[in-house]
């Protein structure tokens, strides 16, 4: 299983589709626009932060179990990033220490079940999308989900900057398996065909290296 990570609007879902099509495998992605808790969370983060995490945990665990069935299935977001979001939200006073503790223990407990549920413990490769604040905001504006727009809620500027700051450290600390980064300011894999091919070549090379190491 290959897993994407990176900021809101970085392009995880798009690259998930592109990569799964390229590899001839299955794409698994979260239907963000069908998520009933997300708009509630953005409108009242303090009340809904914990519920949102439980919602995501449940959904992502279900996808992981299905995606792990094949080495090259592609999943649009890693479950490990949720803890980054939740810990930050807790620091912002949107969740209690007890909620964080319950969440962290539940996550650990569920992840321990994975080898039994899916015969594998962790992704074969993590592809982390790196993006600047300006580029990310341009994507968010183009996509137009109302609750993600800083012009509707000025506190989102700090929220996004805060998340961006933490992501690099999160990537450095990620230790569950092989990993690589793609620079989304450099490669426009959605609208530019040459960039898309370049990104696929970089990923193919990494997958090839992994295969050689495994054999």
Ligand X SMILES: Nc1ncnc2c1ncn2[C@@H]1O[C@H](COP(=O)(O)OP(=O)(O)OP(=O)(O)O)[C@@H](O)[C@H]1O
Annotated binding site for substrate: 30, 42, 53, 77, 82, 148
Rounded CA gap, 80 and 57, in Å?
A: 10
Q: Does 141 bind ligand X (CB under 6 A)?
A: no
Q: Which stretch binds ligand X (CB under 6 A): 50-58, 94-102, 109-117, 199-207?
A: 50-58
Q: Does 8 bind ligand X (CB under 6 A)?
A: yes
Active site residue 76: yes
Residues 6+ apart with CB under 8 A from 167: 6, 7, 84, 128, 130
Q: Does 13 bind ligand X (CB under 6 A)?
A: yes
Rounded CA gap, 171 and 160, in Å?
A: 17
Binder of ligand X out of 1, 2, 3, 11 (CB under 6 A): 11
Catalytic hit among 76, 104, 108, 153: 76
Binder of ligand X out of 1, 2, 3, 9 (CB under 6 A): 9
Complete DSSP assignment for 45-103:
HHHHHHHHHHHHHHHHHHHHHHHTTSTT-EESS-THHHHHHHHHHHHTTSS-HHHHHHH
Contact residues toward ligand X (CB under 6 A) are: 6, 8-13, 30, 32, 38, 52-53, 56, 76-77, 82, 85-86, 148
């Amino acid at each position: 299983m290959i897993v994407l990570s990176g900021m809101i609007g970085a392009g995880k879902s798009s690259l998930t589709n592109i990569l799964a099509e390229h590899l001839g495998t299955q794409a698994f992605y979260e239907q963000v626009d069908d998520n009933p808790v997300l708009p509630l969370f953005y409108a009242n983060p303090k009340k809904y932060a914990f519920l949102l995490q439980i919602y995501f945990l449940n959904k992502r665990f279900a996808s992981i179990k299905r995606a792990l069935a094949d080495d090259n299935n592609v999943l649009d977001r890693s479950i490990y990033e949720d803890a980054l979001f939740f810990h930050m939200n807790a620091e912002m006073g949107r969740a209690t220490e007890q909620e964080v503790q319950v969440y962290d223990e539940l996550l650990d407990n569920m992840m321990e079940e994975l080898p039994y549920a899916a015969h594998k413990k962790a992704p074969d490769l993590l592809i982390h999308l790196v993006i600047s604040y300006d580029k990310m905001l341009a994507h968010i504006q183009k996509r137009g989900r109302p609750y993600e727009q800083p012009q509707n809620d000025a506190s989102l500027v700090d929220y996004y900057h805060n998340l961006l700051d933490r992501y690099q450290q999160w990537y450095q600390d990620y230790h569950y398996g092989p990993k690589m980064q793609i620079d989304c300011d450099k490669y426009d894999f959605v609208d530019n065909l040459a960039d898309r091919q370049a990104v696929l070549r970089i990923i193919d090379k990494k997958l090839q290296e992994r295969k050689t190491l495994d054999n």
